[in-house]
Amino acid sequence: MDKILQQQFLDNTLELYLMVGATILVALFFKRIISKYLARLIYNLAIAKASRNIGRESFLNLVVAPLDTFLVLLIAFISLDKLTFPHQLEFRVYKITSKELADALAAGTIIIVFIWLCLRIIDFIALVLEEKVNRTTDMRDNQLIVFFKDFFKVILIIIGIMLILKTVFRQDVSSLLTGLSLVGAAIALATKESMENLIASFIIFFDKPFTTGDLVRVNGFTGNIEKIGLRSTRIRTADKTYISVPNKQMVDTIVDNISLRTQRKVELRLELSLGATAQQLKTVIPAIKKCLEKPEIEAKAVFLMDTGRTAHIMAVDYFTSMDQTVEAFNNLREQVNLDIIETLEVNHIEPAAGSTSITLSQPPPPKQA
């Protein structure tokens, strides 16, 4: 039996092959048990106290799969390293031997799986932070978490690429970084607008003029913010179109954040006939004010704004709460308009010739949440 185990095959004994194979099989068999144990240990030591509302299963679902793969590959490569690389498999490809190629592939695979595991951990950390900020009424920090989650993922991927260049391709990272700095300066000049948009994204997140979900008006478009990225802000307009506005424009131009309005304003301009007497106008003003005495209306103003050769211009302004739904707001506007028309009819006041009786100047109402 010993003679059989000591037989050489591809520069290694059969006994050594069996030991390596058994080690890999044991790793494959116990990988889920070991990975779950390590994941639970990490959760109990570092995460359980930080957030009690995030379940352990959520953490396990994120990290167990990459941890499985990482452990199996790590044990497999350590075991295979005990074997002597067979001379029968040695060859050279453009100054690179087959053994160097195998070592490079193994190191690159380990680095990729490890970065995958770290990315999953970043996802869970972001999940914990989102759970904490959701307890507050201010939802602006949610988008900040999404932004920095993507930002740190990019940084981690860059670090992974540098490690692969260092270990797999045997490149001097320090000299490479020096060269990249010169290339980066040239690229920065060529991509000046992109860098400005990146800087503008940081300004948006720290200054917080708007956040995801807000209804804004910018550059003639009105819509809800759906995402704030590193380069642009995505807006779903009232026409259900999807537009991307460069972050630099969102910082440099005037942005009307409709969601932060404390009240909705309605402006009516009544163009009344010159045949209306002063007494009729004095009578109709308090009558119109009475039309505005509704629980939904928080403030109002009715006055004769102007008069000229074609019409008397009466201003009717009122404010309503932002708590109303769009449907309730439109119903209120309709009822007020009908009441004013009826009031004008009762007082025998006609609209000016060649004009409509009511002109409405009203910004589009916010989208219903």
Task: Please state the rounded mean pLDDT for residues 209-218.
Answer: 88
Query: Which of 151-160, 190-199, 225-234, 337-346 is predicted most confidently?
Result: 337-346
**Residue range 14-33, pLDDT digits in tens:** 888 888 889 889 888 888 88
DSSP state for residue 90 in the 8-state scheme: -
pLDDT at position 357: 40
pLDDT at position 303: 93
**Residue range 288-317, pLDDT digits in tens:** 999 999 989 999 999 999 988 889 999 999
- 35 contacts 66 by C-beta, under 8 angstroms: no
| pLDDT over 60 at 190, yes or no | no
DSSP per-residue string spanning 81-110: TTSPPPGGG--EETTEEHHHHHHHHHHHHH
pLDDT at position 82: 84
Q: What are phi and psi of 211, to 5 degrees?
A: -145, 175
SS (H, E, C) 243-273: EEEEHHHHHHCCCEEHHHCCEEEEEEEEEEC
pLDDT at position 191: 62
Distances (CA, A) of 345 to 245, 259, 261, 338: 48, 37, 35, 11
Please tell me whether the overall predicted TM-score, pTM, comes out greater than 0.85 for this model.
no
Helix (H, G, I), strand (E, B), or coil: what is residue 225?
Answer: strand
Q: H or E stretch including 84? A: none
Question: What's the Rg (C-alpha) of the chain?
Answer: 35
pLDDT at position 180: 61
Helix (H, G, I), strand (E, B), or coil: what is residue 68?
Answer: helix
**Residue range 237-292, pLDDT digits in tens:** 988 899 999 999 999 889 999 888 888 889 999 999 998 999 999 999 999 999 99
**Residue range 32-85, pLDDT digits in tens:** 888 888 888 877 776 666 555 556 777 778 888 888 888 888 888 888 888 888
Comparing CA positions, the residue from 292, 339, 340, 300 lying closest to residue 319 is 300
**What does the alpha-carbon distance between residue 358 and residue 319 come to, in Å, rounded to a whole number?**
18
Looking at the DSSP bridge assignments, the partners of residue 222 are 217
- At position 53, the amino acid (one-letter code) is N
DSSP per-residue string spanning 159-185: HHHHHHHHHTS---HHHHHHHHHHHHH
**Residue range 79-136, pLDDT digits in tens:** 888 888 887 777 887 777 888 888 888 889 999 999 998 998 888 888 877 777 777 6
**What does the alpha-carbon distance between residue 307 and residue 303 come to, in Å, rounded to a whole number?**
12
| pLDDT over 60 at 173, yes or no | yes
**Residue range 320-368, pLDDT digits in tens:** 988 888 789 899 999 999 999 999 999 999 988 754 444 433 444 544 4
